[in-house]
Amino acid sequence: MSTILDRLAEIIESRKLANGGDPATSYVSRLFAKGDDAILKKIGEEATETVMAAKDARVDGDNAKVLYECADLWFHSLVMLAQFDLSPQQVLDELARREGLSGLEEKAARKDELRDAAETQKHD
């Protein structure tokens, strides 16, 4: 059974100009026609709006606005993934790969790697 992420990704893919998408009738095609900068600008805007909604929710208790803005952010992230020929499944696979790996352990391992790389450079 396909998920909403798969179905949306499929619709978004069909909106690419190369697949017959029409900027006159489709918001997504319009974004593709504008290109990288317009898509990335939307991600920045939607991320900021999500942060602002979350901050406001702590004051006015309107958690629904957080959901609404987060949906906008996820949606535009799907458009960005399609622009780079990536799929939501690949993001889910990356999350699955990280399953059970503590963020703190991963961070410590990354620091060790950086330290080792710096040591190697010093001795080169």
Ligand X SMILES: N=c1c2ncn([C@@H]3O[C@H](COP(=O)(O)OP(=O)(O)OP(=O)(O)O)[C@@H](O)[C@H]3O)c2ncn1[C@@H]1O[C@H](COP(=O)(O)O)[C@@H](O)[C@H]1O
Angle in degrees, CA 20, 22, 23, rounded to 5:
145
Shortest separation between residue 74's beta carbon and ligand X, angstroms: 9
Q: Is 72 in the site for ligand X (CB under 6 A)?
A: yes
CA distance 42 to 54: 18
Question: Which span sits near ligand X by CB under 6 A: 26-34, 56-64, 83-91, 102-110?
Answer: 26-34
Sequence length of the chain is 124
Of the candidates 27, 107, 108, 110, which one interacts with ligand X according to CB under 6 A? 27
DSSP state of 17: G
List residues near ligand X by CB under 6 A.
8, 11, 15, 26-29, 45, 72, 75
